[in-house]
Structure 1
Amino acid sequence: MPNRPVCRHCDGFCVVAITTGGRHRDGSRVLLRVVCHACQGTGHAVPALIARVGK
């Protein structure tokens, strides 16, 4: 796998878990998992040459 640049939107932290403050019945926290919109959870940037399509 080639060395790809890190996504500049998320700095490589492509998935985060945010607590809502609530808890489940077993005592664990309720979490929302959010994925970076720019890299779709890969943590790497798509080179501009590949991302550019068309004229």
Structure 2
Amino acid sequence: MTQPTPARVRRCRDCDGFPVVAIDTGTRYPDGTRRTTAVTCRACEGAGARSIVPAAARSGR
């Protein structure tokens, strides 16, 4: 039986398609829930995919 071909997705190699994550700060709110902070991937700037524009063009060179 043949194997299905995976879809060609341009995922960011740094975040692997998970561009925004919630990090636990270690503190809790009075109701007992944890306080978190959202952090975006610096490589893809929260897009989750690689840009097709070369890096030299993005930097204005």
TM-score exceeds 0.5: yes
Query: RCO greater where, 1 or 2, for CA within 8 Å and sep 6 or more?
Result: 1
Q: How many residues in Structure 1 have an aligned counterpart in Structure 2?
A: 51
Percent of residue pairs bearing the same amino acid type: 45
Query: Structure 2: which 5+ residue stretches go unaligned?
Result: 1-7
TM-score normalised over the length of structure 2: 0.69
Distance of 1:45 and 1:25 partners within structure 2: 40
Tell me, yes or no, if structure 1 residue 24 matches structure 2 residue 29.
Answer: yes
CA RMSD, aligned part only? 1.9
Q: Write out the 4+ residue segments of structure 1 that deviate beyond 4 Å after TM superposition.
A: none
Distance of 2:33 and 2:39 partners within structure 1: 18
Alignment of 1:33-48 (within 5 A): 33-47=38-52
